[in-house]
Amino acid sequence: MTKLFCFILLLLNAFFSVGQSIDSLKQVILTSTDSKAKIGAYKAITGHYMQSDSVLFKQYLAEGIAYTQSINDKEAELELAFQQAKKLYAAGAYKDAIDILDSILPFAKALGHLKLQASLLNYSGNAYSNLSDYTNATVQFIEYLTVAQKMPDNVQPVAMAGNNIGMAFLNMERFDQAIPYLRNSLEHQKNFDSGFKAHTYWNLGICYMEKMQYEKALEIFQLGVAEAKRKNDGYAAAGNQLCIGSVYLRQDLFEEGIAAYAQAYEMSTASNLEPFKLIEALNGLIYANNQLSRPVVASRYVMLADSITDLHKLSDLRNREFLFYKAANLLQLGRPQEADEVFNRYSKAIDSLHNVENLEIIQTKETEFRTKEKEQLLELQQADLDFQRLLITLLGVGALLLALIGILVYREQRLKIKNQKQEQSLNEALLTVENNKKLEEQRQRIAKELHDNIGSQLTYLASAAQNIGSGMNRVSNDVTQEKLTELSNFSQEAITDLRDTIWVMNRNAISWEDLTERIRYLAHKVSNTTGIAVKVEKNGDDDTPLNPAKTMDIFRIIQEAVNNAVKHSKAREIKISVITETPVVIEILDNGKGYDPSTVTTGSDGLRNMRSRATKLGALLDISTNTKGTSVRLQLP
């Protein structure tokens, strides 16, 4: 009894303390000559009445705005007008809140008031989100981020803006765009004790889960649970834990899912979360046990969900997912008639989502509520007619001003959208031109390579075939056969060159590993046809991709060096080293007798072509030969 009496005294003491505080604020408004003190009192008293007394809120808001106008304090006037937007937002009147926020924002920009701009844009973005208009929400949040980055102490607002942008993209199912903003938000949250980090983890985990990157999603949700527990945020802890269960069920890991959902249920119960959170956890347990053919176990959770539903009088519309799982459980238990009854309730709940009669009832109730509210306002206007006349005048002027600003903002938005469309069309045109340019460059590379190599080889083949044909009657069969064999070998070389050209030109970018594999193929072919041992080694970890033209020039230099070693050095072993460090060095060594570079030529002037290709690459080509062998060293820039 004594404890109860003390508790009542504490409540009365708190009540009277608040009352005395409000009385003090009213006294400041009535008697103080300090403008800052009076403005502070107006902000505090409107903040107090925002949740409790709509009439007194409007009274002190109108008085405060009139006072700030009388002393020409535009900044204070805007901050008080922002109070009106906050009240509408708290009441769920998001469209009305947006109208006021849009009317205040241009003046805040004109004053250069960054903090107020940031708050206005954040509220506006959240209002659009609550209206499910995520496109406009994203626009507002991105502008919020731009303003926040200009603020001196901007770590927290930048983190909040990044989280909100990511959440808007997430709701639009644009997960790849959401992820960078959410990760950037987490980076900024490392610099202060954030109260919303667990929610950012939650959003980021959902993105990866929807992208079916389940291991990464699971890791992030677990971080979210740990952070929520650290901040004693039961809602975020349960939310992340529920998603952990969902990750497991999506992978058909039902045992792990059961454990996760059981833990989520315990978290939701311990934190006294809303009944629908408890039902969500139980739904996961019912579904998983149904999938594991454990209908009896699942039915226990069904009974628990039923008791929560009855206790809190949850509607079938709110509980429609549970009804579906319950019907499936009853079927597994061999109770089809009961399952059919529950499924009919589920079907009706789904139909009611789009039921015109329900919408009409809701609209009628809303109209009745607004009519009663207007009647109450009329009664209050009669009690204080002078004040209401002043208020009506102020509201009329404000409405006209809002209408004018609304028209200007609407025109500005239309112009902004038009400019964005024009910019998008220009970017698409530039991209098309760039793609066409790349295609033309590739066609030119192919044409040049075919002309320089394959063309000359085909010309030689045609000429040689003609010479053999005209000389068949004048030379012996052995000579003719020898010439035909040479012609066949040269044809094979031409075919190989054509294949190498096609291999290179069919790719946009080629790695050093791909090029090394092609060199190994060349080595294998040379070894098989000549009996010379050709070894290929690759060292280094440079993974910079090569374009087709550069690849072809490097490969042709290596190919020509190997051909010279085979034809002129009489080598027994050839070693090709590819060192992908900085700089990249390619070296071809043989143990032959060497050769005179001035006497080594081919149909396409091999050494001259090697040097020409090295010059085009901007590379250094060094050829040294003696009686112990030959070294060809190519150093790329």
Can you name the residues that pair with 1 across neighbouring β-strands?
Answer: none
Contact at 8 Å (CB) between 449 and 505?
Answer: yes
Cα angle: 20, vertex 25, 29; to 5 degrees: 145
Supply φ then ψ for residue 91, to 5 degrees. -85, 0
DSSP assigned state of 599: G
With left for phi above 0 and alpha for psi between -120 and 50, is residue 226 left, alpha or beta? alpha
Which pLDDT score, from 0 to 100, does residue 493 have? 62
Question: What count of Cα atoms within 13 Å lies in the side-chain half-sphere of residue 23?
Answer: 6
- As a whole number of angstroms, the distance between CA 417 and CA 409 comes to 12
- As a whole number of angstroms, the distance between CA 631 and CA 612 comes to 18
Supply φ then ψ for residue 538, to 5 degrees. -130, 130
Residue pointed to by tokens 């610099």: 191
With left for phi above 0 and alpha for psi between -120 and 50, is residue 252 left, alpha or beta? left
* CB neighbourhood size of 546 (10 A): 21
Instruction: Identify the CATH class of 510-635.
Output: alpha beta
Can you name the residues that pair with 542 across neighbouring β-strands?
Answer: none
Residue pointed to by tokens 């929610």: 199
Cα angle: 490, vertex 492, 494; to 5 degrees: 70
- As a whole number of angstroms, the distance between CA 613 and CA 561 comes to 13
Which pLDDT score, from 0 to 100, does residue 603 have? 43
Which pLDDT score, from 0 to 100, does residue 225 have? 92
* CB neighbourhood size of 430 (10 A): 10
CA separation, residue 353 to residues 318, 319, 529 (Å): 10, 12, 77
Could you tell me which of 241, 238, 200 has the C-alpha nearest to residue 218? 241
Residue pointed to by tokens 């399952």: 339
**Can you state the angle between helices 320-332 and 295-312, rounded to 10 degrees?**
150
- As a whole number of angstroms, the distance between CA 290 and CA 327 comes to 11
Could you tell me which of 145, 225, 136, 213 has the C-alpha nearest to residue 179? 213
Q: Which residues contact 106 (CB under 8 A, 6 or more apart)?
A: 405, 408, 409
According to the 3-state scheme, what is the secondary structure of 172-185? Answer: CCCHHHHHHHHHHH
Cβ neighbourhood burial of 290 (10 Å; 0-12, 13-18, 19+): buried
Cα angle: 362, vertex 364, 370; to 5 degrees: 100
Peptide bond into 583 cis (omega under 30): yes
Q: For 39-72, give one letter per residue: b (16+ CB within 10 A) or e.
A: bebbbbbbebbbeeebeebbbbbbbbbebbeeee
Contact at 8 Å (CB) between 589 and 574?
Answer: yes
- As a whole number of angstroms, the distance between CA 247 and CA 242 comes to 9
Contact at 8 Å (CB) between 257 and 248?
Answer: yes
**SS3 assignment, position 461:** helix
Q: What is the pTM of this model?
A: 0.52
Supply φ then ψ for residue 149, to 5 degrees. -65, -20
Can you name the residues that pair with 539 across neighbouring β-strands?
Answer: 579
Alpha helices in 172-294 (DSSP H): 175-189, 197-210, 214-230, 234-250, 254-270, 275-291
**SS3 assignment, position 627:** coil
- Which amino acid appears at position 11 of this protein? L
- Per-domain boundaries in the chain: 510-635
Average pLDDT, consecutive stretches of 10 residues, N- to C-terminus, the chain (637 residues) = 36 40 80 83 82 78 86 86 86 89 90 88 91 89 91 90 92 91 92 90 93 94 92 90 92 93 90 85 90 91 91 84 88 88 86 55 46 50 62 80 86 82 75 64 60 54 58 63 63 64 68 88 86 90 82 88 84 91 92 72 66 90 88 91
